[in-house]
Amino acid sequence: MGLFNRVLVGVALLLSSVCHADTSEQLWQRYNALVGADQVIDSMPQQIDAMLAQQALTNPDRSLLDRIEPIVKGSWHSDHLRQVFIGHYRADLTDLQLQQLIAFRELPQNRRITEAELAASQPGFEAGLLRFLADLQENPPHQQRTQVIHDYIEATEMVDYLVELTADLVAVMITNMQNYMEPEAEVGPDLAEMREMMRTQLRPMMEQQMYLTSYYLYRDISDQDLSEYTQFYRSELGQHEVGVAKGAVAEMLMQWGQQLALDLAQDLQAQP
């Protein structure tokens, strides 16, 4: 092959590579917009506010909350954690999988389901949920609806995931605080016992919360649409997407937990 032809081939390969990168970026942007990842990440400071406000209702020691509130909120670095979250997704989803997931999520009924799920990150969600649950006691769901919700929760294995995620987050924070404040100390067996106790206590609470929240989230979604959505999450691609999402959320929250633990430990050491 002559020099000129080799140069042409090299240029063609380079252009092909650039075009492929652009296509991958466009696929990710479309998928990201459909699942609302940015919206969820950016809403976390507001959700932290809501969590602290709930604590204020039952905690008489307001001075402690006033002290930790800026630390908790300041430890959430949206731009960095967004990159952690996105990086996990992009490492574990191929272009073909993104294309298939985009096609699935662009269906009108699935767009409505995603919109319903994203409502959980909106201000006022908790208040609306409480009003809905008060009405639910007088107007319980029919058996078919209960089965549809059960099937969705079972297919996504969300209860077990949330239990493990919560236990892991607490353990990460305790370990990192101890490592900072007492670097020579070893993490003892008490931590493993605490994790096991947390799992036992959390599971029934998480399961009940997951059911009740799902009744509210999907209240305007038909049984048929939610059942078809559930069937997708029993497929190989659906299970893979759920696994990627769980991994991305866990990695993001673990990094946040490490930062929060460090910030809290530094604040404690600074106290006279």
The answer to whether the beta carbons of residues 243 and 162 sit under 8 Å apart is: no
Least confident of 22-31, 125-134, 183-192: 183-192
Q: What's the CA gap between 64 and 191, in Å, rounded?
A: 25
Nearest residue to 254 via CA among 86, 85, 118, 93? 85
Nearest residue to 33 via CA among 111, 91, 119? 111
Neighbour count for residue 220 (Cβ, 10 Å): 10
Q: What is the pLDDT of residues 78-121, one digit of tens each?
A: 999 999 999 999 899 999 999 999 999 999 999 999 999 999 88
Q: Which amino acid is at 135?
A: D
Is the pLDDT higher at 5 or at 39? 39
Q: Is the dihedral of CA 195, 199, 205, 208 positive or negative?
A: positive
Give one DSSP letter per residue of 166-187, joined into a string: HHHHHHHHHHHHHHHH-TTSPP
Query: Residues near 180 by Cβ (< 8 Å), separated by ≥ 6?
Result: 261, 262, 265, 266
Q: Measured between alpha carbons, how far is residue 96 from residues 37, 213, 269 in Å?
A: 20, 33, 51
Q: Is residue 249 scored above 50 in pLDDT?
A: yes
Looking up tokens 């994203």 gives: 118
Q: What is the pLDDT of residues 140-189, one digit of tens each?
A: 999 999 999 999 999 999 999 999 999 999 999 988 888 888 776 666 66
Q: What is the pLDDT of residue 189?
A: 64
Is the pLDDT higher at 66 or at 208? 208
The 8-class DSSP code of residue 140 comes to P
Orientation of helix 143-156 relative to helix 189-217, angle to 10°: 140
The distance in angstroms from the start CA to the end CA of the chain is 77
Would you report the helix, strand and coil content of the chain in percent, each value rounded to 5? 85, 0, 15
